[in-house]
Chain A
């Protein structure tokens, strides 16, 4: 049980002190009369606060206890109806990953002796979140006094990583080509690798008819192709969380979100996707396709923990040998100031033949979060990238290996800019 009084009480107290001095010195009614309504205000707001508070409550998180990142879910709180609910405030103590949607709190509804209130919860961060207590508060007039009590009400919410569908991100993977040149055939078919000849069957495309063979065999023969080989991607996600400790922008979570979005978009585009998390317990999953793989990848992203302080090159080299080489490497990292990033990219290129670096932009700094000019400049630069990442998933491809070693990577990123996009 806590009893608090706001700072405004001090203001009113000073007013009253001035008034009392005046009342003693000026031979007039005015200061006394002026003090009377203020004293009434104080008295009333004190009485208001001393009314009883609830001792138990129930909480229902709407639509189950699983949410996607960015989802909003209604929460219903119920408790025994008490007199004067208008000055009662109910506030759930939320963990860091959840927050109340501003302006979503509703007034109390009383029905058969049960008071209800609802608000909307927004998932801000992936993981398991426990809601343990609810704070019941009586707040007096103009917030002068307040009295509160904490009630244990337990519920658990699981927040899954972001979904590409929700964000509207679509990715069309490039077809695998050993030459490194992207070619797009005008004619579409089941695949491009010849397998065998077979008799024509109704429904076959006229374009696939092998006219020479038909003339030889005196019946219509068509070409049969192998089904298209899926593109294979291997995502290296930097989950060292160095930025999380260093700065206030939560780059760790942003990298994971980007990985989650990429994974879903690529799986939906029928690519085979594998994942490597670069941290103190590096976990990897070889490329595969389908919904089962998507679930496995999501679970892996869900369980990721940060907390490694090592150059990214060492982490990449430690994992490189165990993983299939015939896949396109995608390196997701926010720490583009890492001096060993260039070496990591070179190693990845040597192994996989092609590497794509994706750096999620920083969120827009709120107010005076970033104060040094260098931070401000880099944040501005990264913000421009962020919009591109959102719309077209900007990637910095093979040029990465040809970066001059003296040039800062930020400058290179700015120079190369939005030259390559996965559309």
Chain B
């Protein structure tokens, strides 16, 4: 029958885009751990393990590993959060870089396998969290020396994580329509990298604290901090209202 066809779900089993995204994200993780050879190896090994685990689960169970709102997934996410909290907070955990790399690379890899729209955000968030906390011990020992050298690596990690997210987003977009030109993608990434470098060179002047003091918010007091959080929340709510998605208009006739 030639009827209203149901779209057949097809697997575009091109491995190369996934590998590229994974590779860029691994590079991002590594860029954050360039302090010693040991941390580099830990970050690489953990990242590869998380990525391979996601790929393995996907190829063995396919559709069953698709994220959905179910009890099992809720428990899984809760367990992941507990692990993350333990690894982040507890001091008795050894090899935090390795564990962080696994925890950060597994969820976005799995979501990317399922072409989930949340994967790019998770790539950025993963890189961010990793750069902030994975080498926390390192930062904690030298709190005041940090800005001089390590800021560059943090920024590099973020730029690379954004690159991974962009690649993944382009891969998703290409499935339905024409993709963005590669030169244009590169241009955007170069823009963000340049922006980051410029900001880093001016870093003493653009510290957020200075900015908020200019706005009249005293950040040393609790009231000022709460005021700032309230402002941010209000701004987010306003943004969510102002930028709400357009309603689908239904045409009759």
- Given the known interface contacts A24-B225, A89-B177, A106-B178, the answer about A32 and B3 at a Cβ–Cβ threshold of 8 Å is no
Find out whether the CB atom of B188 lies under 8 angstroms from the CB atom of A141. yes
Residues of B close to A36: CB separation below 8 A? 155, 158, 195-196, 199-200
Which residue from chain B places its CB closest to the CB of A96 in the assembled complex? B251
| B11 CB within 8 Å of chain A | no
A36-B199, A44-B188 in contact; A8/B1 too (CB < 8 A)?
no
Q: Which of B124, B132, B233 contacts A12 (CB 8 A)?
A: B124
Cross-chain contact A257 with B181 (CB below 8 angstroms): no
- Which residues of the other chain, B, contact A93 by a CB distance below 8 angstroms? 251
Give bound CA distance, A37 to B156, whole Å. 9
Indicate whether A33 sits within 8 Å of B176 (C-beta atoms), given known contacts A10-B236, A43-B195, A363-B5. no
Contact of A102 among B7, B125, B131, B159 (CB under 8 A): B7
**Minimum CB–CB distance for B243 against chain A, Å:** 3
B1 & A389 in contact (Cβ 8 Å cutoff): yes
Known contacts A142-B120, A366-B7: does B2 contact A15 (CB below 8 Å)?
A: no
Scoring B residues 158 to 195 as 1 if CB is less than 8 Å from chain A, else 0, what string do you get? 11001001100100010111101100100010011101
Query: Are the CB atoms of B121 and A11 closer together than 8 Å?
Result: yes
Chain B residues closer than 8 Å to A40, beta-carbon distance: 191-192, 195-196, 199
Contact indicator B2/A30 (Cβ below 8 Å):
no
Having A33-B155, A41-B162, one finds 12 other A-B pairs with CB under 8 Å, namely A4-B246, A28-B143, A30-B151, A36-B155, A36-B199, A37-B159, A40-B196, A41-B192, A43-B195, A102-B176, A103-B175, A125-B4
User: At the interface with chain A, which of B89-97, B102-110, B202-210?
Assistant: B202-210
Q: Please name all residues of chain A whose beta carbon is closer than 8 Å to the beta carbon of B3 when the two chains form the complex.
A: 250, 253-254, 257, 360, 363
A417 contacts the other chain (CB 8 A): no
A33 to chain B, nearest CB (A): 4
Q: Is B21 an interface position by the 8 A CB rule?
A: no
Q: Provide the bound-state CA to CA distance between A89 and B158, in Å.
A: 28
When the two chains form the complex, which single residue of B6, B117, B173, B195 contacts A363, counting CB atoms closer than 8 Å? B6
Q: Hey, which chain A residues are within 8 Å of B128, CB to CB?
A: 15, 19, 34, 38
Contact bitstring A346-362, B, C-beta under 8 A = 1, else 0? 00000000000000110
A: interface residue count bin: 35 or more
Q: Is the CB of B1 within 8 A of A33?
A: no
| Contact A30–B150 (Cβ < 8 Å) | yes
Which residues does chain B contribute within 8 Å of A377, judged by CB atoms?
A: none
Q: Is B251 within 8 A of A95, CB to CB?
A: yes
Complex Cα spacing A175 to B18, Å:
61
Q: Does A197 contact B (CB under 8 A)?
A: no
Q: Contact between B196 and A37 (Cβ–Cβ < 8 Å)?
A: yes
In the assembled complex, A416 has its CB within 8 A of some CB on chain B: no
Asked if B84 lies at the interface with its beta carbon under 8 angstroms from chain A, I say: no
- Residue B219 at the chain A interface, CB threshold 8 Å: yes
Q: Flag if A366 contacts B6 (CB, 8 Å).
A: yes
- When chains A and B are docked, how far (Å) is the Cα of A108 from the Cα of B181? 11
A69 to B3, CA, bound (A): 9
* Cβ contact within 8 Å between B178 and A107: yes
Name the prevailing secondary structure of the B interface residues. helix
Judging by beta carbons under 8 Å apart, are B251 and A364 in contact? no
Determine the chain B residues whose CB is within 8 A of the CB of A386 once the complex forms. Answer: 1
Q: How far is the CA of A24 from the CA of B213 in the complex (A)?
A: 11
A142 touches which of B2, B166, B199 (Cβ 8 Å): B166
- Complex CA gap A385/B74 in Å reads 41
Q: Assess whether B2 is in contact with A166, with CB atoms less than 8 Å apart.
A: yes
Interchain nearest-CB distance for B50 vs A (Å)? 20
Contact of B188 with A31 in the complex, beta carbons under 8 Å: no
**Chain B residues near A (Cβ < 8 Å):** 1-7, 117-118, 120-121, 124-125, 128, 131-132, 139, 143-144, 146-147, 150-151, 154-155, 158-159, 162, 165-166, 169, 173, 175-178, 180-181, 184, 188, 191-193, 195-196, 199-200, 203, 206-209, 212, 219, 225, 228-229, 232-233, 235-236, 239-240, 242-246, 251
Residues on the A chain within 8 Å of B124, using CB:
12, 15, 38
CB neighbours (8 Å) of A250 from chain B are 3-4
**CB–CB A29/B146 < 8 A:** yes
| In contact, B208 and A9 (Cβ under 8 angstroms) | no
Residue with the highest number of chain A CB atoms closer than 10 Å, among B128, B196, B203: B128
Q: Which of B150, B162, B177 has the most CB of A within 10 A?
A: B177
Q: Which residues of A sit under 8 angstroms from B147, Cβ to Cβ?
A: 28-29, 33
A78 contact set on B, CB distance < 8 A:
none
One of A4, A13, A105, A363 near B245 (C-beta < 8 A)? A4
Bound: A2/B118 CA distance, A? 24
Q: Mark A13-50, 1 if CB is under 8 A from B, else 0.
A: 11101011111110111111111111111011000000
Query: Once the chains bind, are B191 and A32 in contact (CB under 8 Å)?
Result: no
Is A34 a contact of B131 with CB atoms below 8 Å? yes
> Considering the complex, which residues of chain A in the window 125-178 have a beta carbon less than 8 Å from any beta carbon of chain B?
125, 132, 141-143, 145, 148, 162, 166-167
- Shortest C-beta distance, B67 to chain A (Å), equals 15
User: B228 — which chain A residues lie within 8 A by C-beta?
Assistant: 20, 24
Partner of A364, one of B6, B139, B144: B6
B180 CB, nearest partner CB in chain A, Å:
5
Shortest CB-to-CB span from B15 to chain A, Å, is 18
Contacts of B118 in A (CB 8 A): 11
> In the assembly, what is the distance between CA of A3 and CA of B176, in Å?
22
Contact of B121 among A8, A27, A102, A253 (CB under 8 A): A8
B26 → chain A, closest Cβ, in Å? 18
Contact of B1 among A27, A95, A145, A254 (CB under 8 A): A254
CA distance A133 to B232 in the complex (A): 39
In the complex, the answer to whether B180 meets A87 with C-beta atoms within 8 Å is: yes
| A299 interface residue (CB < 8 Å to B) | no
Is there an interface contact between A28 and B146, defined as CB atoms closer than 8 Å?
Answer: yes
Residue contacts A-B, CB under 8 angstroms, 24 given? A3-B243, A5-B239, A6-B245, A8-B117, A9-B243, A11-B125, A12-B121, A12-B124, A13-B235, A13-B236, A20-B232, A23-B209, A27-B143, A28-B143, A37-B158, A41-B192, A43-B195, A87-B184, A103-B175, A125-B4, A142-B169, A143-B173, A257-B1, A257-B3
CB within 8 Å of B: which of A69-89? 69-70, 86-87, 89
